């Protein structure tokens, strides 16, 4: 199938053949690159290495120049602009096929701008998500209560507990049990789920990660849905007063000690969230840089490939 405009001849079949030759050479060079490790994209989230970038440019040049040359030769034309346009057509069709058609071989990964940029972006997103832990845990106050030591209590309270013949192990057991009774496992699980789901939802927005996660923590610590409410503290105080045989003031001191441990654990959690945001921002910037670097090399390769295809077309004309 051919059309003529003056002495210029444009053959669709010649362009298709040239395109197929270009793509076949890309596949061939990609397989060679994979065999020697140059075309490997395992570290795509870190951007293209200089070796892979150079290999990409060279394979584009050679493959497209060969395709342009073949298309021009099949045209059997003496016209330089027509031969050059045949090469440009090969470049355009090969680029579209690789970018849109998505050939399921290594060639699409190393030669297709869209596919490679997509792999780099996907790898970068994975790198960002890998920084966040699977679970941001709210502290379990009953576990914190089990860690309370007599030596950390006020002297007067220590003396009162010793006079009541309450051993350190008995104290820890009673404290743990008192807070387990006021905060159910279901309630604690719900609170942890809120924190982790919030973190998962905002992990792709590193700049607001700490703000939104801390807002969720604030709601669970002091909001309407607080895990540890004043009513819970009062109930724990009454339980300790009854079970240990101590005064209300002494029971309040014990609860205050546990609450202090809980507040410290919350602050530690907040600091972890802030540190995580810094890591996420750093990872996002690295990912963005990787995508920018890969995209630049791909643009250069494609632009030089255009020139090579046109040059190959000119060289393939009849003389």
Give the mean model confidence (pLDDT) for residues 98-110: 52
**pLDDT at residue 50 is higher than 90:** no
pLDDT tens-digit series, residues 226-273: 777 888 888 889 988 888 888 898 889 888 888 888 888 888 888 888
Rounded Cα distance between 58 and 79, Å, is 28
Rounded Cα distance between 308 and 306, Å, is 5
pLDDT tens-digit series, residues 158-179: 888 888 888 888 888 888 888 8
**pLDDT at residue 70 is higher than 70:** yes
Rounded Cα distance between 305 and 59, Å, is 9
Question: What are residue 2's phi and psi, to 5 degrees?
Answer: -140, 150
Most confident of 102-116, 132-146, 237-251: 237-251
pLDDT computed for residue 199 by the predictor: 75
pLDDT tens-digit series, residues 54-64: 888 898 899 99
DSSP 63-123: HHHHHHHHHHHHHT---HHHHHHHHHHHHHHHHHIIIII--SSHHHHHH-HHHHHHHHHHH
pLDDT computed for residue 136 by the predictor: 66
Q: Which residue has the higher pLDDT, 68 or 218?
A: 68
Using a CB cutoff of 8 Å and minimum separation of 24, what contacts does 169-175 make?
171/244, 172/145, 172/146, 172/147, 172/148, 173/146, 174/240, 174/243, 174/244, 175/145, 175/146, 175/148, 175/240, 175/254, 175/258
Rounded Cα distance between 302 and 290, Å, is 18
Residues in Cβ contact with 297 at an 8 Å cutoff, skipping those fewer than 6 apart: 48, 53, 56, 57
Q: How confident is the model at residue 53 (pLDDT cuts 50, 70, 90)?
A: confident
Q: How confident is the model at residue 27 (pLDDT cuts 50, 70, 90)?
A: confident
pTM: 0.58
Q: How confident is the model at residue 47 (pLDDT cuts 50, 70, 90)?
A: low
């Amino acid at each position: 199938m051919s059309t003529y405009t003056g002495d210029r001849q444009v053959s669709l079949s010649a362009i298709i053949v040239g395109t197929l030759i270009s793509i076949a050479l890309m596949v061939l060079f990609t397989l060679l690159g994979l065999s020697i490790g140059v075309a490997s994209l395992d570290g795509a989230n870190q951007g293209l290495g200089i070796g892979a970038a150079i290999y990409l440019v060279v394979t584009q040049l050679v493959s497209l120049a060969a395709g342009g040359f073949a298309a021009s030769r099949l045209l059997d034309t003496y016209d330089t602009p027509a031969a050059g346009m045949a090469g440009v057509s090969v470049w355009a069709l090969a680029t579209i096929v690789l970018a849109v058609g998505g050939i399921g071989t290594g060639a699409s990964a190393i030669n297709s701008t869209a596919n490679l940029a997509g792999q780099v972006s996907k790898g970068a997103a994975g790198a960002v998500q890998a920084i966040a832990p699977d679970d941001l845990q709210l502290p379990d106050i009953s576990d914190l209560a089990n860690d309370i030591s007599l030596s950390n209590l006020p002297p007067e309270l220590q003396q009162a507990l010793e006079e009541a013949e309450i051993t350190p192990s008995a104290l820890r057991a009673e404290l743990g049990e008192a807070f387990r009774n006021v905060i159910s496992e279901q309630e604690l699980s719900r609170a942890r789920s809120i924190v982790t789901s919030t973190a998962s939802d905002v992990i792709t927005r590193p700049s607001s990660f700490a703000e939104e996660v801390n807002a969720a923590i604030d709601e669970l610590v002091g909001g309407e849905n607080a895990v540890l409410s004043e009513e819970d503290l009062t109930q724990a105080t009454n339980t300790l007063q009854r079970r240990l045989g101590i005064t209300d003031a002494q029971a309040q001191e014990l609860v205050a000690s546990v609450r202090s441990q809980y507040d410290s654990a919350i602050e530690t959690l907040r600091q972890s969230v802030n540190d995580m945001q810094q890591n996420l921002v750093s990872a996002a910037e690295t990912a963005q840089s990787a995508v920018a670097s890969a995209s630049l090399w791909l643009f250069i390769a494609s632009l030089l490939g255009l020139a090579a295809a046109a040059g190959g077309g000119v060289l393939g004309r009849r003389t």
